[in-house]
Amino acid sequence: MSNCRTIQNLLSDYRTDLLDERERAQIESHISECPDCARELELLDSVLSLVENNTPLCEPPAGLWNGVYNRITDPTPRRARLGGWFLTPVHAAGVGLAALAIIVGLYVSGPRPQVVGSASMAPADDYVLAHALYAGQASITDRAAYLTYVATPSDSGVPN
């Protein structure tokens, strides 16, 4: 299988005549014996024919090769625009200090968690009295709820 993987990686070079005679002979003998690699070569040929048939022939711009050649042969190395800016120690230190200032500013001025105090519950007697005052003027259902609360036994944890 690893031999097939090696052959399949070389099929595009084989099809474009970039291999020497020894490598071409090895690939041809392998393709004649291996149906999977032969199928892979057929797929590659179909893709190449699709590209050739559906790509219009275009002439490159007149100065394209001259521009490429000049960039290749230019003796002065070009630095990356943004990457070169970070290479100077002064700029790198400035960026580091700015990042540190932003982090400290966010930490200092960030939202503070609010501590919510424990809710104090009114004693049961106060609740019963308030409910009794309200239930005296409310509908029958509130009076029934009040009587249910008052009638609960004391072992349920609610005082009478």
* pTM of the predicted protein model: 0.38
The last residue of a domain, from among 15, 37, 54: 54
pLDDT along the chain (160 residues), means of 10: 83 90 93 94 91 81 85 75 64 84 83 60 64 61 56 52
From 11, 19, 79, 16, select the one nearest 39 (Cα to Cα): 11
Q: Of 36, 54, 72, which residue is a domain's last? A: 54
Residue 150 falls inside a structural domain: yes
What is the CA 77 to chain-centroid distance, rounded? Answer: 35
Number of domains in the chain: 2
Q: 159: which residues sit within 8 A by CB, 6+ positions away?
A: 124, 125
Instruction: Kindly state whether residue 114 falls inside one of the protein's structural domains.
Output: no
Is residue 94 one of the residues assigned to a domain? Answer: no
Buried b (16+ CB within 10 A) or exposed e, 39-74: ebbeeeeeeeeeeeeeeeeeeeeeeeeeeeeeeeee
* Burial class, 149, CB count within 10 angstroms (exposed 0-12 / middle 13-18 / buried 19+): middle
Alpha helices in the chain (DSSP H): 2-15, 21-33, 35-54, 64-73, 81-87, 89-109, 124-135, 140-150
pLDDT of residue 150: 58
What's residue 1's pLDDT?
A: 47
**Residue 13 forms part of a structural domain:** yes
> Is 107 among the domain residues?
no
Reported as a single tens digit per residue, the pLDDT across 12-26 is 999 888 999 999 999
Of 32, 54, 76, which residue is a domain's last?
Answer: 54
Q: Which pLDDT tens digit goes with each residue over 85-101?
A: 556 777 778 888 888 99
Q: Is 29 a member of any domain?
A: yes
Which residues constitute the domain of residue 49? 2-54
Residue 142: per-residue pLDDT? 55
Residue 45 within any structural domain of the chain: yes
Query: Is residue 77 included in any domain, yes or no?
Result: no
